[in-house]
Structure 1
Amino acid sequence: MTADLMAVVLLLAIAAYTCAGGTDYGAGFWDLTAGGSERGRRPRWLIDHAMAPVWEVNNVWLIFVFVIMWTGFPTLFQAVFSAMWLPLALAAVGLVLRGGGFAFRKVVRRLTERRLYGAVFALSSVVTPFFLGAAVGGVASGRVQPGTQASTDAWANPTSLMFGLLAVAATAFLGAVFLTGDARRFDSPDLVAYFRRRGLLSLTGLVVLVVITLFVTRDDAPHIWHGLTHGAGLAFGIAAGAASVTAAWLLVRRPGGWARASAVGAVACAVLAWGMAQRPYLLPPSMTVAEGAGASTTLTWLAFVTLVALVIVVPAVVFLYWLDTRGDLEELSEADLRRGGDPESGGGAGPA
């Protein structure tokens, strides 16, 4: 019972990271495709302002995923990281380079250095979700089993390729929807239209990739295909489709909080559809949840620690997002600093 509970928590943590981290990866995707220095100046300005206050906090869900995997399901952790060490290592390198590129491009002065760090940030924002998706696709296709040696076939196969492309498309969709809302918050109608078009375009591409993936998995990953077309997997898939249609409608009518919630719901339901399609296996078709679970005492303590962590983390994350939507986390301007760092103060020490 505890093993099943922690498997559900693991799936929810993956969904949380897909949505939260995926939004930031999507912003990087649109940074990459924004164009040259002049044409891409305004979109990149919005991306910097929208991401800066909250971009690092989203990795907390990735930490949840790793801790639950190696503590609650050590056999699963060993099998996945042994067979998938190369794509996961590339994803980890991309994660580090992405953070460094985003941080350094905001502080360097030379244009060439800004372009270099900006390119590192943007490219890593595409590479990282692709390889994470490819690793998930390798697991879903049944190519990872206990004792499986690392090989190209484990992650460079039709299902892995489609899952990688789906990950990139989903992050692009999330990023565009959130940036549309941020453009509206910053009162930039030109950028609202800019990112609205990209949100609808990325959603169209995502739908096409989903259809292709269903055809691919029918032959390459029959267990997952059956799960996606029957039972709970099908139900969550339908929910993802309904949420996508709602997000598109809201994006056209009035982009904002409800459009964001619908987009997040669409991607989260898609992740849950994969999880439901794969059950009762952690590694289909060789390792069930019960077979991959750790000791019952360990799982009990893990459940308790996870509950405590969520009670501490979730309110803090919600509060951070609330401050961001209010605009309370905006960077201080030079004028603010000259006034002593108080934006509300009309006086203070000005330049001599």
Structure 2
Amino acid sequence: MIEIILFFIAASLLLYVVLGGADYGAGILELATPRHLQERQRQLINEAMGPVWEANHMWLVIIVVILFVGFPGVFTLVMIHLHIPVVALLVGIVARGTAFTFRHYDAIHDAKSQNAYSWIFSLSSLWTTFWLGVIAGSLWQGGIDPTATGFMEAYVHPWIGWVPVAMGVFMVCIFSFLAAIYLVGETQDVELKAHYRRRGFIFNMAVVLSGGLVFVAAYLEQSTLLLRFLRNPFSIACVVVATLFFIILWNLLRFNRSLWVRLAAGAQVSLILFGWYFASAPTAVLTFQGDVSFFDSAAPEPALRQLTYALCVGSLLIFPSLFYLLKVFKLSGKSLQHDAAKNDGIK
């Protein structure tokens, strides 16, 4: 029963990173765009994200609900001892969503207001991504002390350290990399394609370097993260194969294989997550007192049974609906763009 629920947690996390992460990365990419490309990039991102950015947040909601219902011990540790980065994350999500909505649907479309919305959208994308990484790194820093009574010891020290910071930087690089790769296939603009291709190269290298930085930080903090990776052959294999995808991606980008390069980028990020999963499972949080596993903090059997039923039935509704959403908005949108370009050519 617990294994089925853990599968849904892993699947939701993977989909949130691969799909929602690209949305965050799109905002980050806007921070370093040449002036003459800014307006075209803004329009492209609005068209690419508009239909799906809200839907991608459901994966994070599913993870939170599963933890609340199925693993209250883990949920309590995270929400109490990491409530400061969690609040920072939520503030970023709200600011980012609000700015994107106003930018995308503002009827006035004033230049000054558009610039303000874009800056808020971009900065909050960077802010939110960084705090996602901080929260992920805090789970493995081992700084959470359930018995602490002082404010600093209980609520600040758990997320202050080199590992959370390095993980925040790593998350920024991953999301930016995904966005650059996905946007290559979203536009027919030759100049934008070349721009995103260059960004894809840069952030692919940044992913490798920042990933190494995480292990260096773990070594400096004497975290068990590095040892767990080295002791697990599956984790090592995932990291090695993910590194080999670095070469594959470069060749696919060079020959402009948009679909295959997207699949390769998603596979590379998935392998990184798989490596982390094999190294950590079934541990959910590492504390001063030791590992807190999903099995030790699980809810009573009746609650787990009902949660499993709900997830299985819900998946039968969510996945077809998501596919239909993408078919209606994304595929139809591309057909309209193709027809418009064809008409322009006739004229």
Give me the TM-score of the superposition, normalised by structure 1. 0.87
User: Hey, what does 1:227 align to over in structure 2?
Assistant: 228
**Runs (5+) with no aligned partner, structure 1:** 337-343, 345-352
The number of residues matched between the two structures is 329
Deviations 1:50-90, CA, capped at 9 Å, x for gaps: 11121111011011111111111111001001111111111
Contact 1:76 1:292 in 2 (8 A): yes
Q: CA deviation at 1:163?
A: 0.6
Deviations 1:301-342, CA, capped at 9 Å, x for gaps: 11111111111111221232234442437899xxx9xxxxxx
User: Hey, what does 2:258 align to over in structure 1?
Assistant: 256
* Structure number having the greater helix percentage: 2
Aligned counterpart for 1:290 among listed residues 287, 295, 299: 295
User: Hey, what does 1:198 align to over in structure 2?
Assistant: 199
Deviations 1:261-290, CA, capped at 9 Å, x for gaps: 111111122122222211231112331221
- Write the letter of the residue equivalent to 2:15: A
Aligned counterpart for 1:309 among listed residues 304, 314, 326: 314
Identity %: 25
In the aligned structure 1, how far is the partner of 2:300 from the partner of 2:62?
19
In the aligned structure 1, how far is the partner of 2:222 from the partner of 2:335?
47
Q: CA deviation at 1:218?
A: 2.3
- Write the letter of the residue equivalent to 1:289: F
In the aligned structure 1, how far is the partner of 2:145 from the partner of 2:18?
28
Residue 320 (str. 1) matches residue 325 (str. 2):
yes
User: Hey, what does 1:165 align to over in structure 2?
Assistant: 169
What's the secondary structure of 1:56's corresponding residue? helix
Deviates more, 1:197-206 or 1:289-298: 289-298
Residue 40 (str. 1) matches residue 41 (str. 2):
no
User: Hey, what does 1:350 align to over in structure 2?
Assistant: none
Contact 1:225 1:277 in 2 (8 A): no
Once the two structures are superposed, the pairs formed by residues 114-193 of structure 1 within 5 Å of their partners are: 114-147=114-147, 150-183=154-187, 187-193=188-194
Contact 1:133 1:160 in 2 (8 A): yes
Q: CA deviation at 1:39?
A: 4.1
In the aligned structure 2, how far is the partner of 1:257 from the partner of 1:155?
38
In the aligned structure 2, how far is the partner of 1:246 from the partner of 1:55?
28
**Runs (5+) with no aligned partner, structure 2:** none
Q: CA deviation at 1:227?
A: 1.9
Give me the TM-score of the superposition, normalised by structure 2. 0.88
- Write the letter of the residue equivalent to 2:267: G
In the aligned structure 2, how far is the partner of 1:113 from the partner of 1:30?
20
Contact 2:100 2:118 in 1 (8 A): yes
In the aligned structure 2, how far is the partner of 1:140 from the partner of 1:8?
20
In the aligned structure 2, how far is the partner of 1:26 from the partner of 1:17?
12
Contact 1:71 1:302 in 2 (8 A): yes
- Write the letter of the residue equivalent to 2:185: G
Contact 1:282 1:292 in 2 (8 A): no
Contact 2:134 2:165 in 1 (8 A): yes
- Write the letter of the residue equivalent to 2:6: A
Assess, with a 3 A threshold, how the Cα gap between structure 1 residues 128 and 267 changes in structure 2: closer, same or farther.
same
RMSD between superposed Cα atoms in Å: 2.2
In the aligned structure 2, how far is the partner of 1:120 from the partner of 1:290?
41
Contact 2:83 2:155 in 1 (8 A): no
Contact 2:239 2:275 in 1 (8 A): yes
- Write the letter of the residue equivalent to 1:46: L
Contact 2:72 2:299 in 1 (8 A): yes
User: Hey, what does 1:236 align to over in structure 2?
Assistant: 238
User: Hey, what does 1:20 align to over in structure 2?
Assistant: 19
In the aligned structure 1, how far is the partner of 2:335 from the partner of 2:129?
28
Deviates more, 1:208-217 or 1:275-284: 275-284
